[in-house]
Structure 1
Amino acid sequence: MPSPPGHQFSTKDRILGAAEELFAQHGFGGTSLRQVTSRADVNIAAVNYHFGSKENLVNEVFRRRMDEMSAARLALLKEAQQAHPCELEPILAAFVEPALALTQDRGSRAFVRVIARAYVEKHEGLRKFMSEQYGHVVREFAKAIADCVPGLSKEQRYWRLDFLAGALMYAMADFGLIKRPSGVSETEHRARAARELIRFSTAGFLADVAQADRLKAEK
């Protein structure tokens, strides 16, 4: 007899939570499905029923967090384009702030370490999944940046977006030289990190553009 819907959701959520914690601790290759079932207190049949394979489980761990973050990014992007047309800083804020907000949620902190694992392990299946599922988000931001900085080539836009994504990952991991001062809340510290990263990346996207425009005008 099938389990009631609420029980199914609870089982699936437990598996995803266990997998996220274990992937954060041991990586994708270092985590077995047996470890996941043990942590989630389910049998292997439950994992197969909900996910079908370990690769699908990895993908779904990402989908659980990325769907919400991507929706937040696109909503903020739309607001920025309507309220501040052709202004670069609000566009970049729409990209940065939802990602840093993940680090404020205690339940999402393991996911930040999972993202770092994905960078280190170069999981090709996951890379393909992320490109297929969330590549449109990056393309929307690239188009918005093109409207703000038309002097950048397409290649330059994507290079600089890639650098921003790397810097954002570093900020999310909070592994840098600047530690949260005593007396400053975690929320305030993250807000400062967001402001500094947005200003830094704004300057990066604008680098050389004014000079290139001036040289074109002189010709």
Structure 2
Amino acid sequence: MASRQFSTKDRILGAAEELFAQHGFGGTSLRQVTGRADVNIAAVNYHFGSKENLINEVFRRRMDEMSGQRLAMLEQARRDHPGDLEPVLSAFVEPALALARDRQGGVAFIRVIARAYAEKNDGLRKFLSEQYGHVPREFARAIAECVPHLDKEQLYWRLDFLSGALTYAMSDFGLIKRPAGVSEIAHRKRAAEELIRFTAAGIKS
């Protein structure tokens, strides 16, 4: 019974993620979600209780793992390379690019992130701040240790630019496409290397 419940919940989350990516949060109804997931509305109410909770859980499903990976890599970077900026940036960039290349819904989730930037959803922003706001703050502290000459305002401007550049890289919408004969892993590694090099230069200046 438990595995069946998990399967139903996962189908609902997958359907919601795809629809939010296509139509946005306001443009997607629970009826559309139930139709895509092939469940009834009672199943959505049972597992999530409301559309707002469903939206939050779409983010939690992806971001819990990514945030955990980021913080684990950051801890290792600070331990093994104290004062070195590039390993800190790598800890921030690489898990996000890995998520973007995940063929099990990763591409759709990147579009969902873009919707979160574009649409005004105070409830979602509050949820993301409460659940994941500690992650960028921890990176800000680590980066400040590497570039103590920056004041707090300069540091946060540059972190904002890093986040924007990373989101763009995750979308794979830029000029650089994966060349024929280059694996997805190799292409992602190159993208991470170039972004880290570019960001490190900007932060240090």
- Pairwise TM-score range, normalised by the shorter structure: over 0.9
In structure 2, distance between residues paired with 1:158 and 1:60: 28
Moved more, 68-77 or 40-49: 40-49
Match of 2:148 among 143, 147, 150: 150
Correspondence for 1:126: 124
1:106-134 per-residue CA deviation (whole Å, 9 max, x = no partner) reads: 01221111111212223222111111100
* 2:82 equivalent in structure 1: 85
Q: Distance in 2 between matches of 1:192 and 1:127?
A: 32
Structure-1 separation of matches of 2:55 and 2:107: 16
Give the length in aligned residue pairs.
Answer: 204
Amino acid at match of 1:192: R
Question: Are positions 1:96 and 2:93 aligned together?
Answer: yes
Aligned to 1:55: 52
The equivalent of 2:161 in structure 1 is 163
SS in 1 for 2:133: helix
Output the amino acid matched with 1:113.
R
Residue 60 of structure 1, CA deviation: 0.4
Give secondary structure in 2 for the equivalent of 1:180: coil
Give, in whole Å, the separation in 1 of the partners of 2:102 and 2:120: 26
Alignment of 1:131-210 (within 5 A): 131-207=129-205
Amino acid aligned to 2:12: I
| TM-score between both structures, scaled by the size of structure 1 | 0.90
**Structure-1 separation of matches of 2:165 and 2:120:** 18
Structure 2: where are the runs of 5+ without partners? none
- My pick for the range that moved more, 123-132 or 36-45, is 123-132
SS in 2 for 1:106: coil
Instruction: Provide the alpha-carbon RMSD of the alignment.
Output: 1.0
Shift of 1:153: 1.2
Gaps of 5+ in 1: 208-219
Q: Mark the structure with the bigger radius of gyration.
A: 1
TM-score by length of 2: 0.96
**Which residue number corresponds to residue 20 of structure 1?**
17
- Give the fraction of aligned pairs with identical amino acids, expressed as a percent: 77
